[in-house]
Copies of this chain bind each other. A is one copy, B any other.
Amino acid sequence: MKAKSPEADPDCDDNRIQRRARIALAAVCEPGEAGLANLIDMTSPTATVASLLAGRRTLVRVPRAEAIGRRLAALDLAALIDRGEEIGARVVLPGDPQWPGRLADLGAHRPLAVWCWGEANPRLHTVRSVAIVGARACTRYGEWVARDWAAQLASEQLSVISGGAYGIDAAAHRGALAVEGVTICVVAGGVDMAYPRGHEGLFAEIVERGVILSEAPLGETVRRRRFLTRNRLIAALANATCVVEAARRSGSARTASSAAEMNRPVLAVPGPVTSETSQGTHRLIHDGIATLAADVNDVRTAIDGMFVSPDPADGPDAVSASMREVLDVLPSSQTSSAGLRLEDVAVRSGALAPIALEQLECAERMGLVERRGTDGWVFRATLQRDGRV
């Protein structure tokens, strides 16, 4: 591993060393493979790196540890990090402000790190989000549904998550972009190697308004099996997954199963029984894995249902204590027409204005608060302050 040694670099505190070790591990392991994430959390990234480099296989209960150790020894971490700085891509690690907490639902298969390229904050913009996925070889009907529903949901502050592929995925991203919404593209290779090449223009737009996200390091080309591990990431990031068109055995069906395993709502769009690309969605509905989505409102309802669960304080993206302090000072949308100005929210809640704004924007994405005019904030009257209806 050709990284400067910690001793030689006075800027490197332990945290920074641990971060670099984790980025290195993420760059060389197979995404989603059980073992490494747990091992790192039980020991530390640097201890894991040391074990792997030394080939201590008894310590390392990791599949293919030897190969990982070899790749680790050959990794040019500095070049990888330089490349990120060069194009403006960043690594987000567990616990970072941008880390989407709900990735923890992947358990032992959780990613070690994600590379992000684009303006959007992956934590903030997955709080209210929907994955719209489906077949590459889709029909114009499916394309229309994906684009239309994505546009409707994105215009309501929901982020649209998909995989950047031809067909349904691209239609979903484009629908969100068409209404200047946020869209998140989860790719199987490096974020700078987004596939297919025919979508270069689309990817550039996503970087500008949304974010391209991947577990793979920069420069990594797409490999076939990575599509399947990538799909679990899409399911984990979104509140709900909606399959628009899919053949009977398909990656989208796999995304749907991943979402169902995490108890996330799964929806599927019906189509003519004569259409091959609707066979997969019909099977998901028939088998009880997905609920039939007859219109965009069915998707909306499934997502909103997540915010009225018996105890929304559970889970990493529920209303935090500091958000509640901000919410508590807001007037109700029923009693206040002008709302409370940001600086008053800050004064009354005791929070710094930028932090209060961040909480308000996050609460807005969660559907808890509304803006009034240019600088007014109200709490949505139909909800309890803890997010319950």
Contact = CB atoms under 8 A, between A and B. Distances in A.
Interface string A282-293: 110110000111
A270 interface: yes
Interface in A268-292: 269-274, 278-279, 282-283, 285-286, 291-292
Copies in the assembly, this chain:
2
A41 interface: no
Q: Looking at A269, A279, A293, A294, which has the most chain B CB atoms within 10 Å of its CB? A: A294
Contacts of A286: 291-292, 294, 298
A283 B294 CA distance: 7
Nearest to A271: B272
A215 B263 CA distance: 49
B270 A141 contact: no
B273 A272 contact: no
A145 interface: yes
B273 A282 contact: no
A270 B283 contact: no
A7 interface: no
A295 interface: yes
Interface residues of A, number: 21
Contacts of A298: 286
Contacts of A273: 145, 269-271, 293-295
A312 to B, nearest CB: 25
Interface string A249-277: 00000000000000000000111111000
Contacts of A291: 286
A298 B272 CA distance: 15
Contacts of A274: 141, 144-145
A265 to B, nearest CB: 13
A279 to B, nearest CB: 7
A249 to B, nearest CB: 14
A285 B145 CA distance: 19
A292 B269 CA distance: 12
A298 B271 CA distance: 16
Q: Looking at A272, A274, A282, which has the most chain B CB atoms within 10 Å of its CB? A: A272
Contacts of A283: 294
A276 to B, nearest CB: 11
A124 B216 CA distance: 65
Contact of A270 (B144, B145, B282, B295): B282
Interface of A: 141, 144-145, 269-274, 278-279, 282-283, 285-286, 291-295, 298
When A and B form their complex, which 9 residue pairs have the shortest distance between CB atoms, in order from nearest?
A270-B270, A282-B294, A286-B292, A285-B292, A273-B294, A271-B272, A141-B272, A282-B292, A286-B294
20 contacts: A141-B272, A141-B274, A144-B274, A145-B273, A269-B273, A270-B270, A270-B271, A270-B272, A270-B273, A270-B278, A270-B285, A271-B272, A271-B273, A272-B272, A273-B294, A273-B295, A282-B292, A286-B291, A286-B292, A292-B292
Given A270-B278, A286-B291, A286-B298, 20 more contacts: A141-B272, A145-B273, A145-B274, A270-B270, A270-B271, A270-B285, A270-B292, A271-B272, A271-B273, A272-B272, A273-B293, A273-B294, A278-B294, A279-B294, A282-B292, A282-B294, A283-B294, A285-B285, A285-B292, A286-B292
